[in-house]
Amino acid sequence: MRFQVPQFIEVEDKIFGPLTLKQFIYLAGGGGLSFLVYSLTNSIWISVLPILVIMSCSAALAFYKINKRPLILVLESAFKYYLTRKLYIWKKENKTPTATADADTLEHYSSVTVPKIAESKLKDLTWSLDVQESIYSKESQK
């Protein structure tokens, strides 16, 4: 039995002429909000500026994309970033070896020699993993 696999699932369907459902809702919401502003002020000259701001914001939400992502997703990510707590894991500190360092650890690290292998990066990586594994196995034996 053969099944047809759906294709182009990332592309939204055009429902209202050349507009998708989301685009139509953004533009209709902007138009409705603009009409509400006009009806509350009863003057076209007073309401021109707010109507222009509202319609430009709704048009940007409907059509503008940043890095191929809709503006609403960019705004959502920005709000999440600014409102959530941040955890900084790495902070660079310049540490110099001091005379109070433990002699055993200095002796242990001085006994490890790392020869230079230049055949391929994969062999270098496997060798370094083997060295790290052998270092930690020696520490567990002490």
Query: What is the secondary structure of 69-130 as a DSSP string?
Result: EEHHHHHHHHHHHHHS--------------TTS-HHHHHHHHH-------S-HHHHHHHHHH
State the pTM of this model: 0.54
- What is the Cα–Cα distance from 131 to 137, expressed in whole angstroms? 10
14: left (phi over 0), alpha (psi -120 to 50) or beta: beta
Neighbours of 61 (CB within 10 A): 19
Q: Average pLDDT, whole number, for the chain?
A: 79
% of the chain exceeding 90 in pLDDT: 39
* pLDDT of 141 above 90: no
pLDDT per residue as tens digits for the range 67-102: 989 999 999 999 999 999 888 777 677 766 665 556
* pLDDT of 41 above 70: yes
pLDDT of residue 134: 57
pLDDT of residue 108: 60
pLDDT of residue 47: 92
Mean predicted confidence (pLDDT) in 40-44: 89
pLDDT grade, residue 103 (50/70/90)? low
CA 39 centroid distance within chain:
42
Is the separation of the CB atoms in 133 and 125 below 8 Å?
Answer: no
42: left (phi over 0), alpha (psi -120 to 50) or beta: left
